[in-house]
């Protein structure tokens, strides 16, 4: 993937999440009803799920690509926003057809994300099929694969975006018509005070988030200097501790600190 292609894909993804009800100039003269808006949202969720499906088989190599990694960051960053939309749709006065479409695309997105994250961690995704999400397993056992991604100059940003998404953090939309955000710079993405947080997330997200933290702890126990002095892995550690502190998980913060001392 070259730079031009990655820029186009990023723009497409931002358009999908910033314009849940894409309208032509003629359509803007006639406001859409709630059913039309939610149907459009379901279609956009399906498009995002299709991208995750497409990237799952080669997720780790894509994450390590200088240009493709930016696409993954944008795609992963869209996830909390999409689930926020889904949560807002639950109480709406929708037709049965639209409600079923939203539920179908929600399940599709959940499964696509599950397969993608497992693929990113280096697991075999062949046996994972739509509808077979096992929320009890966590499923991520490839610690070295995750740590290698954290230490990669490109993939580290993908892991950090994933850490934010799994914990429900999303960038605040500055202009719904352009999809621009207040947190324009990468370092600002990790300023948690500049982000909003949604509670509308799949049940397995906390399992994956905790596993990433466990992988980091294992790496610290193996060689604290390798993690703390690595220019790409250290920012992941800092972000994880910021998330723990923001969520008032004092015991988890203490566990990381004790491992480092």
The per-residue pLDDT for range 65-95, each reduced to its tens digit, is 999 999 999 999 999 988 888 877 666 677 8
CA 218 distance to own-chain centroid: 23
What's the domain count of the chain? 1
Give the burial string for 156-171 (b: 16+ CB within 10 Å, else e): bbbbbbbbbbbbbbbb
Q: Are 72 and 63 in contact (CB under 8 A)?
A: yes
Q: Cα-flanking dihedrals φ and ψ of residue 63, to 5°? A: -65, -25
Domain range enclosing 83: 3-260
pTM reported for the whole predicted model: 0.80
CA 97 distance to own-chain centroid: 28
Burial of 251 (0-12, 13-18, 19+ CB in 10 A): exposed
The per-residue pLDDT for range 118-152, each reduced to its tens digit, is 888 876 544 433 334 444 343 444 678 899 999 99
Q: Cα-flanking dihedrals φ and ψ of residue 68, to 5°? A: -65, -30
List residues bridging with 181 in a β-sheet: 173
The per-residue pLDDT for range 13-51, each reduced to its tens digit, is 888 776 544 443 444 444 556 677 777 777 888 888 999
């Amino acid at each position: 993937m070259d730079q031009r292609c990655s820029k186009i894909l990023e723009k497409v993804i931002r358009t999908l999440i910033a314009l849940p009800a894409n309208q032509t100039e003629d359509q803007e003269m006639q406001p859409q009803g709630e059913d039309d808006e939610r149907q459009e949202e379901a279609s956009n969720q399906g498009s995002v799920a299709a991208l995750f499906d497409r990237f799952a088989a080669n997720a780790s190599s894509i994450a390590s690509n200088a240009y493709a990694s930016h696409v993954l960051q944008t795609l992963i960053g869209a996830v909390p926003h999409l689930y926020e939309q889904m949560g807002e749709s639950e109480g709406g006065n929708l037709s049965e057809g639209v409600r079923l479409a939203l539920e179908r695309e929600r399940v599709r997105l959940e499964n696509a994300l599950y397969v993608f994250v497992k693929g990113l961690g280096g697991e075999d995704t062949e046996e994972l099929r739509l509808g077979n999400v096992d929320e009890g397993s966590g499923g991520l056992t490839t610690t070295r694969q995750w740590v290698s991604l954290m230490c990669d100059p490109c993939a580290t940003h993908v892991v950090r975006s994933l850490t934010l998404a799994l914990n429900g953090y999303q960038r605040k939309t500055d202009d719904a018509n352009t999809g621009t955000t207040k947190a324009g710079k990468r370092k600002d993405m990790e300023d948690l005070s500049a982000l909003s947080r949604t509670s509308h997330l799949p049940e397995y997200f906390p399992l994956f988030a905790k596993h990433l933290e466990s992988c980091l702890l294992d790496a610290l126990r193996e060689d604290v200097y390798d993690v703390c002095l690595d220019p790409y892995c250290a920012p992941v550690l800092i972000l994880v501790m910021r998330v723990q502190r923001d969520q008032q998980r004092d015991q988890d913060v203490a566990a990381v600190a004790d491992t480092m001392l």
